[in-house]
Amino acid sequence: MMRLAVLGVLLALPQVAEARPRARVNSVSFGIGAFPIQISGLSDVHLSDGDRFPNAEGRLNLELGRHNTDGPGLLPAAKFGFTLGRGMVLGAFDLYAGATNGVTGAAALIGVDVRVKQRNFTIGVPLRIGAITAGADLGTATLLTGATGPVILEQGTINEGDALNASINGVMASAGVLGELWISKKLAIRGEASVQQGAFSGFTIRAGIDDPETTETDERVAIDGDDIAIKKPDGSLDQAGMTPAGGTFGVSGFVGVTLKF
């Protein structure tokens, strides 16, 4: 399915490009629904600087295992999108964002809509490719009993009380069907469903707070999932060997409205 969506986008892009001189925002849409995010392979681990400071180890407990998802992993979400151009093939952009049970998810997708309109009803095929991310709030840094703070890593220093979160990122593609019932020239009731396929590939733990005024730099301490500082939760200095996986596999659905310009 991912190959089909990517191929469809690539074949349709030349038609969108031909209309570029007169391309402009054609419509915007808003919807609520759900899209699938699955996360597996997370486990409870410790974060430690014991390799650098064996006689004054700083060590934190990270409860990651509870953020694995069960079943289809449907995430309640809101969706915003817009289309560009005129005619049967429109350039399109979609943004999803949702959260449930401490897990957040978002996706940013580009592609095309292939549409046919009959009187006051439009049916279309949305084809998309893009990026997807999921995150989890891990609370605040709390030293284990007997540990010496702060946790001093090559990436930076984590102090007790620092905010902790984890994120996992990947790529995805989707193909589906949409329908719009136009109740006026400018307003339609919209429904859509898409089959999505994508895979996560990068896992990161972050500590601290990112200063919103410095958009070029993320001040948080970032630790990759395979970093030596992520330890087994048995008190040893053995690397955890955690291999997070998952992605977005399944059907998304949204209902909402479309506004035409």
pLDDT (0 to 100) of residue 210: 87
Burial 55-88 (b: 16+ CB within 10 A, else e): eebbbbbbebeebbbeeebbbebebebbbbbeee
Per residue in 77-116, pLDDT tens? 999 999 999 889 999 999 999 998 888 999 999 999 999 9
pLDDT tens, residue by residue, 148-168: 989 999 999 999 999 999 999
* pTM of the model as a whole: 0.81
